[in-house]
């Protein structure tokens, strides 16, 4: 994973963030998910007046990747003003596809933190036998 690939992934997350729909919280988030084959899928948060129906950027990106036939991911960049990491629900969704690297970047694309998903969600839910 070269620095050029990381920079491209960060740019993709920042661009996705610019397309976020967040009229209620004004908290915009973009995500760029890299597949094992090197393809990148992006997502942005999409808020709803019924807050529970809001779609997080990370889940949006996972859905796009899965819809395109991908199930193996290496890393995800999450871009926000708050340098936020994935929420608990997004961590669980990402965990369905294994341990991946998570890069949390600020609005300028500076990497604030790098973590493994297993470190952020050490006891994720798994169905028995899986």
47 belongs to the catalytic site: no
Residue 91: Cβ within 10 Å count: 17
> 11: burial class by Cβ within 10 Å (0-12, 13-18, 19+)?
middle
Distances (CA, A) of 70 to 42, 67, 93: 13, 7, 14
For residue 1, the surrounding DSSP H or E stretch is none
Active-site residue, from 15, 58, 96, 112: 58
Instruction: Please check whether residue 105 is in contact with residue 79, taking contact to mean a CB–CB distance below 8 angstroms.
Output: yes
Which residues are identified as catalytic? 58
């Amino acid at each position: 994973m070269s620095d050029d690939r990381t920079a491209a992934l960060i740019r993709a997350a920042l661009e996705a963030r610019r397309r976020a729909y967040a009229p209620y919280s004004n908290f915009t988030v973009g995500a760029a998910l890299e597949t094992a084959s090197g393809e990148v899928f992006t997502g942005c948060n999409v808020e709803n007046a019924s807050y529970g129906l809001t779609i997080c950027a990370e889940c949006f990106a996972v859905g796009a990747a899965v819809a395109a036939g991908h199930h193996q991911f290496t890393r995800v960049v999450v871009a926000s003003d708050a340098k936020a990491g994935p929420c608990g629900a997004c961590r669980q969704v990402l965990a369905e596809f294994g341990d991946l690297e998570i890069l949390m970047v600020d609005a300028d694309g500076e990497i604030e933190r790098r973590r493994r998903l297993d470190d952020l969600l050490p006891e994720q839910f798994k169905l028995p036998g899986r």
